[in-house]
């Protein structure tokens, strides 16, 4: 099979980077590491689908400092980057990915607490249990958007993440698991399109949630005003999200 490379010259040294096949063309292919840099700042580019326990199997769990997931990836397996605490920077899940797997303390990115922001692609349909548990550093600034493609958010999926921006959950989510956003003290504002009935018990427990903008609030089971309980977080003010999908 032919492969495509892009070359760069830096200080007289040629660096060749393996390019991804077109989106879809590489679906189902075996994951391949493309080392972008060597030495103390190793940045790994992964092409193809990423299986369970990938980082530990490949021996990069303690060495990879950065991560680029290629657009030929359609799925990320459970514990794929289990406690890769050396990873840092921005974590971007490309639009090609449809599934981010999880399990009991076996989320795809569990314990990757060095990341400073998280972007989830617009084709992801399911986010597994513990998928991003302890994933983003406390004090990290950034909004978290769950795209409309997502239908389920697992138990503890984002538990104990430290993002301090707003949370937006799209209108296709039918299940928000228990503790999904629990233990996020910097999370204060959420924009929720799903009905209240889809918010699991303890979903926001021990978070900093104070304000919820809810789409079609009354019709979707919400009670407007201050002093509401959302996912077992008390003292929340619920406001009708009248200009959905625009953020006020």
Cα–Cα distance measured from residue 178 to residue 234, given in angstroms and rounded to the nearest whole number: 15
pLDDT of residue 45: 83
pLDDT > 90: percent of the chain: 67
Q: What is the pLDDT of residues 63-86, one digit of tens each?
A: 888 888 989 899 999 999 999 988
Residue 186 has pLDDT above 50, yes or no: yes
pLDDT of residue 190: 98
Here the tokens at position 8 are: 């760069």
How far, in Å, are 92, 203, 215 from residue 157 at the CA level?
16, 10, 22
Cα–Cα distance measured from residue 230 to residue 146, given in angstroms and rounded to the nearest whole number: 18
Residue 5 has pLDDT above 70, yes or no: no
In sequence order, what are the beta bridge partners of 241?
none
Cα–Cα distance measured from residue 220 to residue 171, given in angstroms and rounded to the nearest whole number: 12
The candidate with the shortest Cα–Cα distance to 121, out of 180, 70, 187, 195, is 70
Q: Bigger pLDDT: 162 or 169?
A: 169
SS3 at position 29: coil
pLDDT of residue 36: 53
pLDDT of residue 150: 98
Spacing of C-alpha 53 from chain mean position: 17
pLDDT of residue 38: 54
Confidence category of residue 163, pLDDT binned at 50, 70, 90: confident
Please state the φ and ψ torsions of residue 58, each to the nearest 5 degrees: -85, -5
Options 1.10.3470, 1.10.10, 3.80.10, 3.30.460; which CATH number does 23-186+201-207 get? Answer: 3.80.10
CB atoms within 10 A of CB 84: 26
pLDDT of residue 83: 94
Going by the DSSP 8-state scheme, the letter that residue 155 receives in this structure is: T
Contacts of residue 29, Cβ cutoff 8 Å, sequence gap at least 6: 21, 47, 48, 49, 72
How high is the mean pLDDT of the chain? 86
Q: What is the pLDDT of residues 12-64, one digit of tens each?
A: 333 323 334 433 334 456 777 665 555 555 667 888 899 999 999 988 888 88
pLDDT > 70: percent of the chain: 84
pTM exceeding the 0.75 threshold for the entire prediction: yes
Here the tokens at position 32 are: 């391949």
């Amino acid at each position: 099979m032919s492969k495509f490379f892009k070359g760069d010259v830096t200080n007289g040294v040629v660096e060749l980077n393996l390019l991804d096949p077109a989106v879809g063309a590489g679906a189902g292919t075996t994951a391949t590491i493309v080392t972008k840099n060597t030495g103390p700042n190793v940045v790994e580019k992964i092409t193809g689908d990423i299986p369970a326990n990938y980082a530990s199997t490949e021996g990069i769990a303690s060495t990879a400092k950065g991560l680029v997931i290629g657009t030929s990836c359609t799925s990320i397996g459970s514990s794929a980057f289990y406690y890769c605490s050396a990873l840092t920077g921005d974590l971007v899940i490309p639009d090609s990915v449809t599934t981010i797997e999880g399990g009991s303390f076996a989320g795809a990115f569990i314990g990757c607490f060095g990341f400073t922001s998280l972007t989830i692609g617009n084709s992801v349909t399911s986010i597994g249990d513990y998928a991003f548990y302890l994933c983003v550093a406390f004090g990290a600034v950034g909004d978290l958007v769950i795209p409309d493609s997502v239908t389920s958010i697992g138990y503890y999926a984002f538990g104990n993440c430290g993002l301090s921006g707003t949370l937006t959950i799209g209108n296709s989510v039918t299940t928000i698991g228990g503790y999904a956003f629990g233990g996020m003290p910097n999370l204060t504002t959420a924009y929720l399109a799903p009905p209240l009935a889809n918010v699991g018990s303890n979903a926001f427990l021990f978070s900093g949630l104070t304000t919820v903008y809810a789409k079609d609030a009354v019709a979707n089971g919400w009670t407007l005003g201050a002093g509401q309980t959302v996912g077992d977080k008390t003292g929340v003010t619920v406001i009708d999200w009248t200009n959905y999908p625009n953020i006020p």
